[in-house]
Amino acid sequence: MKLRIATKIAAGYLVLTLMILILGVHGYNNSKATEYQMQQVDILNDRVDVEKAIQLETYAIMSSLRGFTATGEESYKEECIDRLNKTFELVEELQSIAADGNREAVENLKNLIIKYQQQVVGHTLPAIEQRYNA
């Protein structure tokens, strides 16, 4: 069976058009998958940023406690209380963006921060003040 040249050319264009269409659909699907993965990376980056901020606030709390212990200056005490409050806010923020499997761990962290805050504000800071007022 012999095909005419025009039929062969038309069949060739049809095959090329189908290949381009298939590649286009495949590329579109890949771009959607990549977009979803980028959104997940952004969410993870947000979590890491908040976790780093919590870590830095914790270091700042320790630093202000050392400063208040060493000098007895009120500015260190106020900074310590401010940092404790900021840490609590950051933990609440982390809780709102935490993955489902990590919500319990973040809740435990939140409870520990509350206990620590109560201990520092209720016992540690007054004991240091008493030392300098005596």
119, amino acid identity: Q
SS3 42: helix
Q: What is the mean pLDDT of residues 78-82?
A: 95
**Lowest-confidence segment of 24-38, 78-92, 97-111 by average pLDDT:** 97-111
Residue found by looking up tokens 């771009």 in the block: 31
pLDDT one-digit tens code per residue, 113-125? 999 999 999 999 9
pLDDT one-digit tens code per residue, 9-48? 999 999 999 999 999 999 999 999 999 999 989 989 999 9
Is residue 96 within 8 A of residue 78, CB to CB? The reply is no
Give how far Cα 81 sits from Cα of 4, 54, 101, 120, 131, Å: 88, 14, 31, 9, 19
Residue found by looking up tokens 């409050």 in the block: 85
- Would you list the domain boundaries of the chain? 38-133
Categorise residue 99: left if φ over 0, alpha if ψ from -120 to 50, beta otherwise.
Answer: beta
Residue among 82, 80, 108 at smallest CA distance from 95:
108
The per-residue pLDDT for 2 is 77
- C-alpha distance across the termini of the chain, in Å: 112
